Structure 1
Amino acid sequence: MTLYLLDANVLIRAHGDYYPIDRIPQFWEWLLEMGNQNCVKIPQEIYNEVTPSNGALAEWLKRADVKEALVLEESPDRDTVQRVLALGYAPDLDDVEMEQIGRDPFLIAAAMVKPDRVVVTKEDSKPSATRSRQKIPDICKTFGVTCINDFILYRELNFSIK
């Protein structure tokens, strides 16, 4: 069974642009159910990227039932993360570039652990970008990881509001 791993921007944009928690709770209930069914997960590092903020999304993510359902309970493989950084981005990244990249290597490394994992992001491919400006879909392609956008995820998992 495919496991979809969500980038932070999927959650942030879903709440901010399409499915505000207070206006379309059905989306968030569905996402919680997908987590409980082990269809959708958020790597811990990505979760940590979103939860320090204030607001409805952070509060929803901090709920015990949501955290239990959605957070991927695996420690990142440090060697795989380093491989993503060195071979995907560049072997000699400086501190500013590392800050620009953020937690993306952890997301990609989590997907590399098993072949049935798919990265879900709002980022668009930008093949001409180099070093820290590279986008998740391009790094995924480098490592043979399937990467889709959130709307493909919603279709594949049959999200609908009834």
Structure 2
Amino acid sequence: MLYLLDTNVLIDAHYKFYPIDRIPEFWNWLLIYAQQQQVKIPHEIYEEILPGNKEDHLDHWLKDNKAALYLNETIDNISLNKVVNKYASDLNDKELESCGGDLFLIAYALRDTEERIVVTNEVSKPGKKRANRHIPDVCKDLGISHCNTWQLIKRLNFKTSQFSQSL
């Protein structure tokens, strides 16, 4: 399986639950799976996370580990158009911009719905329309598997003990 990470997975992990400087085990664990080609960050998501001039632990970690984390693919326009049409076939420029990297994240997963899973902390909100649709709802419409950070942790069996030495 290849898990494709949404922006909120990394931002929430660092700023809410697993700060890189306090719980490096989580980030080492992610990196191991990235090196094994099981966790990746598409270009458009990578660019969303790295803001212009802000430098913090997350930015440094991303830059230092780009070779392992980065999904080295170009977007397939047919897949991207299918995703856009699930939001609405007539999205205007402002709506497209508000979707951000979500369109691309889902399009990369659409390339292989049997082997790719979108990881996002967005929750389903089926009543949302157009550019306000949430990733889980669009994934469901396209037959793409998705999970959140907690489910990823469980599926890939993250344990801080696997990084600590025996006492």
The normalised TM-score by structure 2 is 0.92
1:45 aligns with 2:51: no
Question: Cα offset for 1:29?
Answer: 0.7
Matches of 1:96 and 1:107, distance apart in 2: 19
User: SS of 1:118's equivalent?
Assistant: strand
Write out aligned runs for 1:1-150 (5 A): 2-53=1-52, 54=54, 55-63=56-64, 66-86=65-85, 88-114=86-112, 115-150=114-149
Q: Could you say which structure has the larger radius of gyration?
A: 2
One-letter code aligned to 2:73 = E
Q: Residue 83 of structure 1: CA displacement?
A: 1.5
Question: CA separation in 2, counterparts of 1:6 and 1:31?
Answer: 10
SS at 2:75's partner residue?
Answer: coil
Q: Deviations over 1:67-106 (max 9, x none)?
A: 11111111110121111102x1001111221121111011
Aligned partner of 1:56: which letter? H
| Amino acid in the other structure paired with 1:133 | N
Secondary structure in structure 2 of the residue aligned to 1:20: coil
Per-residue deviation, 1:36: 0.5
| Amino acid of the structure 2 residue aligned with 1:85 | V
SS across alignment from 2:41: strand
State the secondary structure of the residue aligned to 1:72: coil
Q: Separation in 2 of the partners of 1:52 and 1:59?
A: 12
Q: Counterpart of 2:155? A: 156
Give the TM-score normalised by structure 1. 0.95
SS for the counterpart of 2:15 is helix
Amino acid at match of 1:71: Y
Which AA in structure 2 matches 1:58?
D
Q: Which amino acid aligns with 2:116?
A: R
